[in-house]
Structure 1
């Protein structure tokens, strides 16, 4: 999980950015285009320019080696070079390197940022405002993209990939237990499924579900809300007193220690259990997770798929008629220090629309994306498409309704991570639930206050 970034490095970035970039519109070619070129590439410039894309996403994950040549075919005046910030795809290390690059003379043109790292860097002037480019390009942002990317009232990036959450299920284990693939279920149904799918004892015990030790799992049921579905409300204040957070922590503890249908928490942390290993090694029948796991469900070089994976939407909350999931986009923008802003924007616009579909690895934040077609592309590009239940996947992706997702506050990661020690005390039976909720609320509120 992402950790709190170094305030020293970010502060250094801010100081040097301000001196180097002024208001964030410095550098050459900073004006918006005079012609409508944004996504067309039909009017190449007089001379070729080279722009770099700085990202943590490796080629194995994002398929840059496929995507970049396709862009260059339709934009012969623009050459794109990949600047991989970390060879292992570590987003935390990549953001630290990005901050150092921003404070130096390193070339920055196109910047891709993880979900909770965007607003902070937009706020310090790292990114170019895009309204003038969009206006000249002749489209309305809200007609083209599924999520709002405004920070302080300005658009600094377009959404690239957009994660939704769902539940992966071992189809063979479902069939063995006589359980259908869920299409309309609640969190109570999820608990019942976990109990029925649990089998055996000891080191080879198969648990009905695996609930990892990320803070996302402490808020699983909050994710099923149409709005205010994280630790922070839409207004940036603490959401810890929502009774659904309390219910979710109680559910986790019950599954781990009463029903014994999920791995005990102390085993997860002491044995450093990995969710991929637990699921693909048949030690857990169900896994709530993000949609980056679609392609991996067909197996990888490291962990082959030996069974068919089915998919179900995140369970509904009682009283809700729809299956919701938060959407967690990554963001792609133009560096405010780029000397070729127009060329950088053209790639950003192209990639966040048709380019993502060419890559065929992740789901898109583009409103005009054909979800079923993209599902086919992602599945067919997996190592073994026969191990992915296409029907349940398409149903899940088209049935899941994106929850309201404002841009995360710059302190969102800090607030999220502050939850971990308190939630662990409760789950490990060292603190009662009411004290836990009170302490979580205080810690998050302190984070909010300290960042105001």
Structure 2
């Protein structure tokens, strides 16, 4: 089944390249053009172009309705139309639609992609190399952006939002338990906090922490490393034998079944628990999560915030002096089949520097971004800013060093997915830890070799 799926993907992307090759010579010039109707002293009129911005991110999440008009004010000859690839913001369904669009006559100009969906599409030529545009602009990439986006030695995208991880905590529950807001803590401290914060029994039980069934939670302690901090090492090989993966799975099982300070794994699966509901409904005191939850900590229309949320860095490893957080950017690229590449690049560069901050919802991958100012913008744009503890958030952002990571391998998602069934067997007591680690390593290595 997997081979069939990849065959379809490769076929569609091959067709996309054919379309690109045939249409690449028709690029419009967005520089001002002479207009014979103008008087001799008038400036030449700029040609009007319309670009499509193809993304999975909804307006509610990314605030395109605020951002795009500001760009159009600064670039009156360029109109940008939002092309939402999926109404629900489903990134998987959106990437499937993108591949079909690339193989058709659909207009593609600006493309935004999630973290692990970039490399394989850059690798087969879906995007325009940006090196010449950057050289023409006269800046050094490494001075402007926090992560490297090179694929095969070329830059095919600029990083837009930059996702970091931390722990969010219910302030009233901390106060009730007499616990301070963590500022310098380890994973052992995290476990102790979870035990102390656990309260009650039965359906109304409050767990100290909620650990969701995403693969990210299986690698939480790996994420606290300065490098080689995912299931794959930076060189693209299996990282399953890192002792921290074993330690993290053991921590999860201990919290779920010995300390009973986190929801049992079978309950998460069978009851289809949602992390937002568990945290905002007061059923979990702590939640490791990404920074998209900053704005949501002020509540949403679906789930209002009824308590103050405080923030703490992702716990550090034993013996480590620094708190680290993985950085997972989204990528914004110029489609190689675009007929208005120069104009598309102008938007990409503008958005990934000053433009993203206008939306006030996510953190930036631009090295010159003012983090404190952006925190204030994000908090003030939330539904109820009083429910977000700004002091702890600013501390967490300043004291979480970004872990280094190369551009994810094109098979990163596939490698992540093979971990799930093996980790689940261990957590539900159907396989011991050593067999689990060996099986994960074997399956990831098979994915690497097959790619």
Q: CA deviation at 1:8?
A: 3.2
Q: CA deviation at 1:17?
A: 2.4
Return the alpha-carbon distance in structure 1 between the equivalents of residues 290 and 442 of structure 2: 29
Return the alpha-carbon distance in structure 1 between the equivalents of residues 44 and 423 of structure 2: 56
Q: Residues 222-254 of structure 1, C-alpha deviation per residue, up to 9 Å, x if partnerless?
A: 000000000000000000000000000000000
Return the alpha-carbon distance in structure 1 between the equivalents of residues 299 and 46 of structure 2: 46
Return the alpha-carbon distance in structure 2 between the equivalents of residues 91 and 248 of structure 1: 27
Correspondence for 1:21: 20
Correspondence for 1:147: 147
Correspondence for 1:296: 296
Return the alpha-carbon distance in structure 1 between the equivalents of residues 321 and 4 of structure 2: 39
TM-score (norm 2): 0.95
Q: CA deviation at 1:319?
A: 1.2
Aligned counterparts, 1:309-324, within 5 A: 309-324=309-324
Correspondence for 2:36: none
User: What secondary structure is seen at the aligned counterpart in 1 of 2:434?
Assistant: helix
Unaligned residue ranges in structure 2 (runs of 5+): 33-42
Q: CA RMSD in A?
A: 1.8
Q: CA deviation at 1:31?
A: 9.0
Q: Residues 243-271 of structure 1, C-alpha deviation per residue, up to 9 Å, x if partnerless?
A: 00000000000000000000000000000
Return the alpha-carbon distance in structure 2 between the equivalents of residues 121 and 105 of structure 1: 18
User: What secondary structure is seen at the aligned counterpart in 2 of 1:299?
Assistant: coil
Unaligned residue ranges in structure 1 (runs of 5+): 35-42
Correspondence for 2:179: 179
- Tell me if the contact between 1:25 and 1:128 (Cα under 8 Å) persists in the aligned partners: no
Return the alpha-carbon distance in structure 2 between the equivalents of residues 317 and 308 of structure 1: 28
Aligned counterparts, 1:421-432, within 5 A: 421-432=421-432
Return the alpha-carbon distance in structure 2 between the equivalents of residues 71 and 10 of structure 1: 34
Q: Residues 52-80 of structure 1, C-alpha deviation per residue, up to 9 Å, x if partnerless?
A: 10000000000000000000000001000
Q: CA deviation at 1:6?
A: 3.4
Correspondence for 1:12: 11
Structure 1 residues 44 and 144 mapped into 2: Cα distance closer, same or farther (>3 Å)? farther
- Tell me if the contact between 1:195 and 1:208 (Cα under 8 Å) persists in the aligned partners: yes
Return the alpha-carbon distance in structure 2 between the equivalents of residues 124 and 44 of structure 1: 39
Aligned counterparts, 1:110-125, within 5 A: 110-125=110-125
- Tell me if the contact between 1:9 and 1:100 (Cα under 8 Å) persists in the aligned partners: no
User: What secondary structure is seen at the aligned counterpart in 2 of 1:26?
Assistant: helix
- Tell me if the contact between 1:27 and 1:336 (Cα under 8 Å) persists in the aligned partners: no
Q: CA deviation at 1:284?
A: 0.2
- Tell me if the contact between 1:32 and 1:136 (Cα under 8 Å) persists in the aligned partners: no
Return the alpha-carbon distance in structure 1 between the equivalents of residues 409 and 45 of structure 2: 38
User: What secondary structure is seen at the aligned counterpart in 2 of 1:431?
Assistant: coil
User: What secondary structure is seen at the aligned counterpart in 1 of 2:147?
Assistant: coil
Q: Runs ≥4 in structure 1, deviation > 6 angstroms?
A: 30-34
Q: CA deviation at 1:28?
A: 3.1
Q: CA deviation at 1:29?
A: 3.3
Correspondence for 2:252: 252
TM-score (norm 1): 0.95
Structure 1 residues 25 and 322 mapped into 2: Cα distance closer, same or farther (>3 Å)? farther
